[in-house]
Amino acid sequence: MAMPITRVLIANRGEIALRIIRACHEEGLEAVAVYSDADRSAPYVRAANAAVHIGPPPAAQSYLVMDKIIAAAQATGAQAIHPGFGFLSERAAFAARVAEAGLVFIGPPASAIQAMGDKTEARRRMQAAGVPVVPGAMAAVTDPAEATRVAAALGYPVLVKAAAGGGGKGMRVVTRPDDLAGALTSAASEAQKAFGDPAVYLEKFIERPRHVEIQVLADHERTIHLGERECSVQRRHQKLLEEAPSIAVDPELRERMGQAAVAAAKAVGYRSAGTCEFLLAADGSFYFLEMNTRIQVEHPVTELVYGVDLVREQLRIARGMPMTVAPGPLSPRGWAIECRITSEDPANGFLPSTGRITYLKAPAGPGIRWDSGVETGDEVTLFYDSMLAKLIVHGASRSDAIARMERALAELVVTGVATNQPFHLRLLADPDFRAGRIDIQFLERRPELIVAAPDDELVKLLAVVAALAEEERRQRQKPAVALDDQVTSAWLVRGRAEGLR
């Protein structure tokens, strides 16, 4: 390596920027933040050793401008750039530009990002590497007559997918031949709009699968997997809750999926942390979907059950050091669940809710991790995505983790902006969720979990009263008298709310 790494620029914001800054400090590295006008006083900016202003709030004029990010690294003497997730994290051109500037990109080689970015190319390479992919075409289709032949051979239903795809854009389920030509046209035009590339192809449509992904870690010597995450609880391609392990994966399946993910990573010369997404069908068959060539939002659940700090490993690998994970068999310990806390209002069609966070009280206690980018007084705007924080719990079993998450969510207080906290409480109480009967269509079948319940506001109000009572006790340094001693947890209060109905 040209220059040893002592200082890392984090090309991101919010909770993931803070998460990475903390890992840098634990590794003895200095951290440089970048910030837009909207993030001037954000917690991650204060946590960094230095911070560089990169422009106005819109990401297109700040966090997405490669020149500004690279210039900020050079101006502050950073030798490496961690992209986090979103923004520039999966732009092969950015990874290449960083390298050309003589800096280290903390992630995979640009060639691996490139190879996994084109979905049809990735499918071909994965199939060649022996990784199971969904049956379907290996190249883009344009001619409707040819598409009709391919679809007949696959059997309906089929799925029209964008070659440049991701996130479900440019996707159409087709159940009968008559609908195929129209689906090709509309998917292609959506793909053109979303990705600037109208190419589409066909796959067999897998009905009611789970979304299970495998964490991969590769250093200069070894490529290993750290088991699966269950990500089926999603709405419109936005994950809301993730778990590790998956209730649907036993040690034998874990090893087969893990080996498939390792083969996928090796096939593209992968290094750093990455994730292979699979569809897991009800019959236990699994199919590679795509590889996310970045650290993911939900990485903490894997960290908790495998006892590994994935960002630390990324930093080590970027420095040319070996991963700390010892060779030999690994298995998950206990159960971890993550709830994404978003400023979205379930009472208002999950539309983003903006405003000032007038009060924030994070849950605490054993087995609880609160990865947040905001604090009391912060402004929530529409410039960035709506995830405020991740609440992650670890317990001995799935039911212990669920109980712990329910307790933690009941303790969480956010006022000033609406959040999806009531949704999470309803989900965790649901008998199907508790039994692990989930797949990617679960929330579509259960709209009542999404829609606000009549007592959401009452429960929240009582939780706020409980938190304020506690705050008052703490500030006065004497036992509470006014708001009796029983009002100590929102959970107790929730019981009262139920009693009131």
Selected from 130, 168, 284, 322, the binder of ligand MV4 by CB under 6 A is 168
Query: 394 - beta bridge partners?
Result: 336
Decide: is 159 part of the binding site for ligand MV4 (CB under 6 A).
Answer: yes
Least Cβ distance, residue 151 to ligand MV4 (angstroms): 12
Our separate counts of H helices and E strands in the chain read: 18, 24
Decide: is 211 part of the binding site for ligand MV4 (CB under 6 A).
Answer: yes
| Residue 458, C-beta contacts closer than 8 angstroms, at least 6 positions apart | 497, 500
| Residue 391, C-beta contacts closer than 8 angstroms, at least 6 positions apart | 338, 339, 341, 363, 368, 369, 370, 405, 408, 409, 412
| Residue 17, C-beta contacts closer than 8 angstroms, at least 6 positions apart | 10, 33, 44, 84, 373
Sites for ligand MV4 among residues 422-441 (CB under 6 A): 440
Selected from 15, 39, 203, 242, the binder of ligand MV4 by CB under 6 A is 203
CB nearer to ligand MV4: pick between 204 and 446: 204
- Report the alpha-carbon distance of residue 116 to residue 98 in Å, rounded: 19
- Report the alpha-carbon distance of residue 498 to residue 495 in Å, rounded: 5
Decide: is 443 part of the binding site for ligand MV4 (CB under 6 A).
Answer: no
Instruction: Read off φ and ψ for residue 68, nearest 5 degrees.
Output: -65, -40
| Secondary structure of residue 483 in the 3-state scheme | coil
Least Cβ distance, residue 203 to ligand MV4 (angstroms): 4
Contact pattern for ligand MV4 over residues 271 through 310, marking x by CB under 6 A? --------x---------xx--------------------
95-127 burial, b for 16+ CB within 10 Å, e for fewer? bbbbeeeebbbbbbbbebbbbbbbbbbbbebbe
Binding segment for ligand MV4 (CB under 6 A), chosen from 25-33, 75-83, 200-208, 353-361, is: 200-208
Active site residue 294: yes
CB nearer to ligand MV4: pick between 337 and 464: 337
Half-sphere exposure at residue 354, Cβ-oriented, CA atoms within 13 angstroms: 5
Decide: is 401 part of the binding site for ligand MV4 (CB under 6 A).
Answer: no
Least Cβ distance, residue 259 to ligand MV4 (angstroms): 21
Whole-number CA gyration radius for the chain: 23
CB nearer to ligand MV4: pick between 444 and 471: 444
CB nearer to ligand MV4: pick between 316 and 446: 446
Binding segment for ligand MV4 (CB under 6 A), chosen from 56-64, 79-87, 197-205, 371-379, is: 197-205
The amino acid present at 51, given as its one-letter code, is A
Decide: is 155 part of the binding site for ligand MV4 (CB under 6 A).
Answer: no
Choose, from 294, 312, 398, 426, the residue flagged as catalytic: 294
Residues lying near ligand MV4 in the complex (CB under 6 A) are found at 134, 159, 166, 168, 203-206, 211, 234, 237, 279, 289-290, 440
